[in-house]
Amino acid sequence: MKKILIASAILVSTSSFATTTTSSNDKGNLKSLLGKVSNVQWKSAANFEKASVVIEEQKVEVFYNQEGDLIGSTRYQDFDKLPKNAIKTITSKYTFPEYNLQECIVFTNGYNEATYYVSMTTETDYLVLAITEYGEVSIFSNTRK
């Protein structure tokens, strides 16, 4: 789980812009994005601010650049809710028992475009697949355990 969240952070950091000031509107932006929220946990990194919140018993992380502009958000996704083309590709190319599904997340950018990430393991590898909204599957990362 940590690796896919780290991959998400890397993705977010590569799509954000580094600045030296933090907007005071971050919390207001989060509230407008998610409605009425409470218990928001904020963390800062070099290129982004991250707000973590639980909504309807699901952890959601929202990322902003240092100027307070929305980069995107992540949340867990059920495998069977992925685009049908992706499910077909994954279940035929990355078959069980060689590949074990670890988790799925969806990253929705500031333009409301979704990219899905599926992590899988083998005996020797940790694989993260990136999936477009149209079901195109590509390897996002492949590392040795």
Same domain as 113, residue 88: yes
Residue-range definition of the domain harbouring residue 110: 79-144
Q: What is the pLDDT of residues 84-129, one digit of tens each?
A: 999 999 999 999 999 999 999 999 998 999 999 999 999 999 999 9
pTM of the model: 0.74
End of a domain among 56, 73, 90? 73
Structural domains of the chain, count:
2
Neighbours of 36 (CB within 10 A): 5
Least confident of 34-38, 101-105, 141-145: 34-38
Separation of CA 142 from chain center: 17
Instruction: In whole angstroms, give the CA distance from residue 87 to residue 73.
Output: 22
Instruction: In whole angstroms, give the CA distance from residue 134 to residue 51.
Output: 28
Instruction: In whole angstroms, give the CA distance from residue 68 to residue 89.
Output: 38
- List the beta bridge partners of residue 116: 106, 131
